[in-house]
Amino acid sequence: MTPPLFTLPAVLDATRGRAEGVAAEAINSISIDSRELGPDALFVAIKGDRFDGHDFVDTALANGAAAALVSEGRSAGPGRIHVADALDGLRDLGRAARARSRAFIVGVTGSVGKTTTKEALRTVFEAAGQTHASIKSFNNHWGVPLMLARMPENAQFGVFEMGMNAPEEIRPLSRMVRPHVAVITSIAPVHLEGLGSIEAIARAKAEIFDGLEPGGTAVINADHGQLQLLLDAAAAAGVANVITFGFARGVDWQILDPQTDASASSATILHGEESYKLGLAVPGRHMLSNATAALAVAHLAGIAPEVALRALAGLAAQPGRGERLRLGPDDKPLLVVNESYNANPVAVVAALSVFGQIEPAGGRKVLVLGDMLELGPQADQLHAGLADAVRDSGAERIYLVGPHMAALAAALPDAVMAGHFPSAAEAVNVIVDDLAYGDALMVKGSNGVGLSRLVSAITTRFGQS
């Protein structure tokens, strides 16, 4: 019989809470969304940027929640567990889940590739044992404690993604997760608006080292200009072991002879005297890098290389992060490469490199790029700097969305510019009307631009085979 996630006494003990008319004896799931409740759910009424969970406590209980964790004085009635602050209570549950766990825990951060690397690790760990991993991009001040609190006591492996928009955000998350391995995927010009420089970005990512368990290991991508800063930060944090990976010479896990086409990629991975053949069913040098990080961590976890390599061979692109949709007839589909979740200069160039290898099924190559957000004063310059990569992609019709994309529009030939729109809402109908079966389309932009609605509209219009 599977033990409960938490018994009611364990919840009360961890949160120092007071139960009011709670009939449930156990909690088996935890949610912050009253519309998405698992079995025997504890609804945690946190206050977000747009909504306050306390406004939805009654709805959550009516929808079947076993109990609601609420801030003292904010909600009254049966089914409540009162704590000083609901978000702090969620953090307490996360710490309690971590304290009882014997799992091998990995924390992942970086400017690009966090979610994909987390998924690569999840894929490998699931081939070796009971695995718990963050879902979607739940990597912030409420996402990490939520994912940690959901970790079953019998999990053998745990993988947690950690993100940030400013300094001193990753440090408390890492101290809560207490990983045995901390992975930094890359350092790139992301969040410049809040951090000001790429060096500041590297220092903020290096905060993950502060939560490493004694004797823990840092696994660091070497293919960027901030490697020494990260190595120095790891040493200052007292990190016992540091492992590097990437395409650079002399790293501990070196990617050799990378091969990539429109649908797959492969490489030889050199580690000491050993070499391994890595084959992925997803394209791109960046995917080889993410998978190599997972291979290195698997080695630290004691997972046999053949098990890890076999699992990585089945790694799939995630929605919004390179997912491919083939819409319509098999002989002449509309191919949509959905990269609508995230964008920064490094990620866009990598995606365009992959798009350059794609051949449409008799139609045109159409490119939709949305603004890269949070780049600060350098935003226009960084957008204009994409021009060469856009030209090399072979795109025949280019749509740009967002005010900063005006700088890129000015750097591109008029012959390929199909339109520039201030917002996704203004672009959707025009772009959908221009597409046809046989075309190949890539959609890439920061999530806040809203290009996911374009992908939804395309899927609705053209149908998914």
Radius of gyration, CA atoms only, the chain: 23
Please indicate if the annotation marks 115 as binding a ligand: yes
Angle between helices 114-126 and 305-312 in degrees, nearest 10 = 120
**20: left (phi > 0), else alpha (psi -120 to 50), else beta?**
beta
Q: Which of 294, 307, 281 is nearest to 114 (CA)?
A: 294
Report the alpha-carbon distance of residue 38 to residue 413 in Å, rounded.
Answer: 52
Bridge pairing between strands 26-27 and 6-7: antiparallel
CA distance 284 to 258: 9
Q: Is 113 annotated as a binding residue?
A: yes
Q: Is 112 annotated as a binding residue?
A: yes
The answer to whether residues 243 and 217 touch, using CB atoms and an 8 Å cutoff, is yes
**Polymer length in residues for the chain:** 465
Give the number of other CB atoms < 10 A from CB of residue 214: 8
- What CA–CA distance (Å, rounded) separates 94 from 146? 7
Is 205 annotated among the ligand-binding residues? Answer: no
| 365 marked ligand binding residue | no
Task: Please give the Cα distance from 200 to 194 (Å, whole number).
Answer: 10
DSSP 209: G
- Binding site annotation covers 111? yes
From CA 243, how far away is CA 66, in angstroms rounded? 45
Please check if 459 is assigned to a binding site.
Answer: no
- Residue 25: which of 62, 55, 53, 66 has the closest Cα? 66
5-10, Cβ contacts within 8 angstroms, sequence gap of 24 or more? 5/29, 5/30, 5/150, 5/152, 5/153, 6/42, 6/93, 6/96, 8/67, 10/96
201: enclosing H helix or E strand? helix 198-205
With residues binned 3-state (H G I as helix, E B as strand, rest as coil), the percentages for the chain, rounded to 5, are 35, 25, 40
Report residue 329 CA to chain centroid gap.
32
How would you classify the pairing of strands 253-260 and 440-444?
unpaired
Burial of 156 (0-12, 13-18, 19+ CB in 10 A): middle
Which residues contribute to the annotated binding site for ATP? Answer: 110-116
Give binding residues as ranges: 110-116
